[in-house]
Amino acid sequence: MYKRILAVAGFAFIGGALREMLELWWPFSTNWFGTTICINIVGAFLLAMINFWVANRFALPSQIILGLGTGMIGAFTTFSSFSLEIVKLLDAGQMMIPIVYVLLSIGGGVFAAWSGQRLADRLLGDRMDGDDDV
């Protein structure tokens, strides 16, 4: 159990550092086709390669595969896991489930982000209102 946790944590450090390096380096970070969309697409590709190629091609311990996928790519991007699940469902011959999964994930994700923003605004507003009374 601890080997799995250490593998995820160690590789997450690498993935997070890689993402930050790209954020600082990427020349298109001010337009719509910025760093995040590129990282998400690259991350989706890399996670699929790790799960479909590296895991089957090399005799690596399962902790390393977990560390590379969940740790490194998970810290690099979270969109890659979503994309991989869709590919796995399609590969299994499913059609309707991936469509529902995409709609729920995107719709739910956008709604959750909007809700988090609204709650943060409210909490910050309440804190600021309290400061004004002092």
Nearest residue to 69 via CA among 86, 88, 89, 55: 55
C-alpha span between 101 and 40 (Å, rounded): 18
Q: Provide the annotated binding site.
A: 74, 77
DSSP 51-91: IIIIHHHS---HHHHHIIIIIIIHHH-SHHHHHHHHHHHHH
Known binding-site residues for Na(+) equal 74, 77
Residue 106 tokens read as 């995107």
CB of 7 closer than 8 Å to CB of 63: yes
